[in-house]
Structure 1
Amino acid sequence: MNDNIEIRGASENNLKHIDVTIPKGKLVVFAGVSGSGKSSLAFDTVAVESEREWQQSYPLFLRNKMPHYDRPKVDEIRNLTPAIVVDQRAIGANTRSTVGTAVDVAPLLRLLFSRVGEPSAGGSMAYSFNHPAGMCPDCTGVGERLELIEESMFDPDKTLAEGAILFSQFSAGWQTHLYQNNPLLDPDKKLRDFTSEEWDTLKYGSKEPVKVGIKSNNTGRVDMVEYEGVFPRFERVYMKRDITKLKKGLQDEIMSHVRRGACRTCGGRD
C-alpha cells in the first residue's frame, strides 16, 4: 500500500490548483493564516472525497438515505483511505447525547440493524432510544432512573403555612396554595402530627379528585385546580423531563432531592 495520499490540482474554494502529498500514519497539521485554504483542503477536499468514495460501496437504497456529496474540485486524489471528521463544536450536555448521536453514526447503525439484523426488531425506529417504538417505557430511553428521596421533601416540625415542603417551587408562589388550601389538609398543623391518611394525601394525592381554589394575586380571580400530591407532581414536572435547560440553581435543588441509578427495567441499555 502506498504510504502517501497524493492530491493533484486541488481548486476547492480559495485553493489555487495546488498539489499536496500527505504521509499516512503520521500526525499532519495544515497550518496557515485565515483564508489560506486549510479547511478547504482538509474538509472540503480530502474528507468529502473520502466520504463520497465510501458511499459508492453501499447499495443504492442506502446511498439514497445518506447525505449527498459532489466530487470536490480536484484533478486527482490517489491512495485515499476512509476519513473521520471530528466536529469542532462543543458537544451539548443533553442527557440523550451519546457518542453515536454526536458523530451521526447512530442513524446509520439503526438503518443497518433494521435491514440486515437477524432476528429483526422491526424498522429503524425500533432501534432508536429517542423514539417510542424503541425506547424503554420506564426510563424513556435515558438508561437511568431518578428516584425521589422522599424524606428530603418535608420538615416534619413545621406546618404547611410555615414552609414544611422543602422544595422551593412548591413552597412559594401559587403552588404553595395547592397544598395550603386543600380542604383535606390543615395548613396550621405540624406535619409530624398528621394522620397516616393526611400524610398519604400530602404525598401521593387524595383518593377522590379534589379541586383546590387558588386566588390570583394580580386579578383576584379564583381558579379551581385539581389537587396533585407532592410526589407525583414532582416526578411529573421535574423528573420526567430534561432539566438541563432550567436555571443551574434549580437544577442543583432538584438533584438534591433525587438519587440517580441505572434503570431497573433495561439495566441502562436502552
Structure 2
Amino acid sequence: MCPTCEGIGKVITVNIEAAIDKEKSLNEGAILFPGHAPGTYPWKMYGDSGFFDNDKKIKDYTEKELHKLLYAEPEKIKMQFNSSDFNATYEGLVVKFMRQNVNTEKEASKKAVKVLEDFTIMDTCHVCSGQRYNEN
C-alpha cells in the first residue's frame, strides 16, 4: 500500500489557481489565503524573506522562484521586524498550508473546513500515480 495516499490513489492538495493570483505581484496581493494580505504578519514571511522581487508578477517567476514560493521545505532564515533581527522558519505556501490545515490531527472547525473547501482539490497521488501501491 502506498504510504502517501494510504492506498486510496488520491490525495488532498492545494488548488494553486485558488491560492495564488498569478496576474499580481506579492505587493499587489497575489497570495489569496485568508490573512495573507500585503503587510500582514503571514505575508511578511514571503514578502520580507529576501527571496523574491515583491513587484514581479507571479506569472513571470522562474520555475525556481515559483518552487521556492510554493514548495520550499522548512529552512531557517534571519528576518528583521521593528528594527530587530530574529530567526524564523521559511516554508513554501503549499507546504505550510498543508501542515497547518490538512496534515493535522486536530478536530476541524467550520472555518477550517471552509478554508479546505476553498483552497484544496483531490488529485492523483504523486508518489504512486494513483496505482495505490508502493514500489516494494
* CA displacement 1:123-158 (0-9 Å, x = unmatched): xxxxxxxxxxxxx74357999731222222111121
- Tell me the residue number matched to 1:252: 114
**Cα pair distance change 1:213/1:141, threshold 3 Å:** farther
* CA displacement 1:5-49 (0-9 Å, x = unmatched): xxxxxxxxxxxxxxxxxxxxxxxxxxxxxxxxxxxxxxxxxxxxx
Q: Point out the structure with the larger strand share.
A: 2
Report the CA distance between 1:201 and its aligned residue: 1.2
**Contact between 2:76 and 2:87, CA under 8 Å: does it hold in 1?**
no
**Contact between 1:177 and 1:214, CA under 8 Å: does it hold in 2?**
no
In 2, the alpha carbon distance for the partners of 1:242 and 1:261 equals 21
SS of equivalent residue, structure 1 residue 147: strand
Question: Which one has more relative contact order, counting CA pairs under 8 Å at least 6 apart?
Answer: 2
SS of equivalent residue, structure 1 residue 158: coil
The answer to whether 1:146 aligns with 2:7 is no
- Tell me the residue number matched to 2:27: 161
**Cα pair distance change 1:164/1:139, threshold 3 Å:** same
Paired residues, number: 126
Structure 1 residue corresponding to 2:93, chosen from 201, 217, 230: 230
Q: CA RMSD in A?
A: 3.3
- Structure 1 gap ranges (5+): 1-135
Structure 2 residue corresponding to 1:202, chosen from 64, 69, 73: 69
* CA displacement 1:56-85 (0-9 Å, x = unmatched): xxxxxxxxxxxxxxxxxxxxxxxxxxxxxx
**Cα pair distance change 1:242/1:187, threshold 3 Å:** same
**Cα pair distance change 1:260/1:199, threshold 3 Å:** closer
- Structure 2 gap ranges (5+): none
SS of equivalent residue, structure 1 residue 168: coil
In 1, the alpha carbon distance for the partners of 2:104 and 2:9 equals 14
In 2, the alpha carbon distance for the partners of 1:171 and 1:213 equals 19
In 1, the alpha carbon distance for the partners of 2:113 and 2:106 equals 6
In 2, the alpha carbon distance for the partners of 1:260 and 1:242 equals 19
Find the structure with the greater CA-based Rg.
1
AA aligned opposite 1:200? H
1:1-270 residue pairs with structure 2 within 5 A? 137-139=3-5, 145-171=11-37, 173-205=40-72, 209=75, 211-215=77-81, 221-242=84-105, 244-246=107-109, 248-260=110-122, 264=130, 265=132
* CA displacement 1:153-205 (0-9 Å, x = unmatched): 11112111221011114446321111001212011222122222211111112
**Contact between 2:12 and 2:120, CA under 8 Å: does it hold in 1?**
yes
Among the aligned pairs, what percent are the same residue?
A: 25
In 1, the alpha carbon distance for the partners of 2:68 and 2:26 equals 13
In 1, the alpha carbon distance for the partners of 2:47 and 2:80 equals 10
**Contact between 2:19 and 2:31, CA under 8 Å: does it hold in 1?**
yes
TM-score, L = length of structure 1: 0.39
AA aligned opposite 1:193? D
TM-score, L = length of structure 2: 0.70
Report the CA distance between 1:222 and its aligned residue: 3.9
AA aligned opposite 1:149? N
